[in-house]
Amino acid sequence: MKSISILGSTGSIGTQTLEVIDRLGYKVVGLSSNKNLKLLEKQIEKYKPLEVAVFNKEKADELKEKVDIPVSSGLKGLNRIATLNEADTVVNSVVGSIGLIPTIKSIKSRKNIALANKETLVCAGHIIMGLVKKNKISLMPIDSEHSALFQCLNGENRKKIKQLILTCSGGAFRDKTKKQLEKVKAKDALKHPTWNMGSKISVDSATLMNKGLEVIEAKWLYDIDYNKISVTIHPQSIIHSMVEFNDNSIIAQLSVPSMKLPIEYALTYPDREKGIVKQLDFFKVKKLTFRKPNLKLFECLDLAYKAGKIGGSMPCAVNATNEVLVKKFLENKIGFFDIASNIKKIMKEHNPIKNPSIEEILNVDKKIRKRVEKMII
């Protein structure tokens, strides 16, 4: 029986991971949350972990008075849950670059990683993949697209890849005009047509930055050039990604849209358990359509490609900028197009460090966030 620690257990991926664990019968040894004590207390009561962490110190102190297990806070708390001796697998589902250091700590502690934290690879893919190889651990992606690519590539010769094709729902604004996009608000971005996700990722999906971050992830996960990674809009979200090989054959992975499937696959690989999601009924699928993304309206995808190709600390700078801007958009302090325009400004300003260390990455992240905050005031 596997023992699991979950970073971000009260978020969308975290709660779905626990549903998957209920079915698999695995042991939960560690949990962490940002500040949602009400849900975390319920999880503690049900799963009886050995230790928990709450990032918000005040909330952590409050929880200490209510439970009889160790409670820690801040980044130190995340690192503790990420390195518990009893855990053999760590699910990292926290949102943002805060997930980077706990991932590194997990890898160095020789824990297998189920990774939903995009920023880990976006900011430090060159470091993370080297550590994975050095410590001989498994890093399994939880993204539906990267899980699909992993499955399509299983057993294949990666030197024969013609292109990786990341599919994309297009987000809540995929059919809107420029005039309509000028008026959209945060609440509109959260109405995703096919997926149930957290607010930050829902906004990233609406701007296509989410797909841009996945492009950068793909480069590191599959050691492939950016010119061999493409994106196609697929509104039905049935095909989760495809791989085209040099003989022009294409392998695709299909299922009903549910994050529980890639979560389960990441936790059970190389085995497959009885399906936790509904069977795909081909006879009810009326059509599968595809179209190219509109990079003029949804410029964030193009900017992510450019950042990835520039490399070094540029993806980190773009990610930090985007995180601040998405927060401002969710607070209705900026408009939809302000996200891409301000990312472009930062890209022009930032002088990328060619092969940044972890310390340099964290420093860039901190400086860029401060700079963007000043830009928006």
With beta carbons less than 8 A apart as the criterion, state whether 137 and 107 touch: yes
Alpha-carbon distance of 278 to 284, in angstroms, equals: 13
Token pair 């550590």: residue: 131
Quote the CA–CA distance of 224 and 163 in Å, as a whole number: 9
In CATH, the number for domain 3-141 is: 3.40.50.720
What pLDDT shows up at residue 190?
87
Distances from the Cα of 148 to the Cα of 12, 218, 284, angstroms: 20, 11, 22
pLDDT in tens for each of the 377 residues of the chain?
899 999 999 999 999 999 999 999 999 999 999 989 999 999 999 999 999 999 999 999 999 999 999 999 999 999 999 999 999 999 999 988 899 999 999 999 999 999 999 989 999 999 999 999 999 999 999 999 999 999 999 999 999 999 999 999 998 999 999 999 999 999 998 887 676 677 888 999 999 999 999 999 999 999 999 999 999 999 999 999 999 999 999 999 999 999 999 999 999 999 999 878 999 999 999 899 999 999 999 999 999 999 999 999 999 999 999 999 999 999 999 999 999 999 999 999 999 999 999 999 999 999 999 999 999 86
Going from N- to C-terminal start, the domains of the chain cover 3-141, 146-258+278-310
Give the 3-state secondary structure of residue 131: helix
pLDDT of 108: 98
pLDDT at residue 195, rounded to an integer: 63
Both structure tokens of 170: 């297009």
Exposure string (b/e) for 53-89, b if CB count within 10 Å is 16 or more?
Answer: bbbbeebbeebbeeeeeebbbeeebbbbbbbbeebbb
Residues in the chain: 377
Q: What is the pTM of this model?
A: 0.94
CB environment 90-107: b (16+ within 10 A), e (fewer): bbbbbbbbbbbbbbbbbb
What is the distance between the alpha carbons of residues 189 and 193, in angstroms, rounded to a whole number?
Answer: 10
Closest by Cα among 168, 115, 122 to 142 = 115
Alpha carbon distance 220, 347 (integer Å):
21
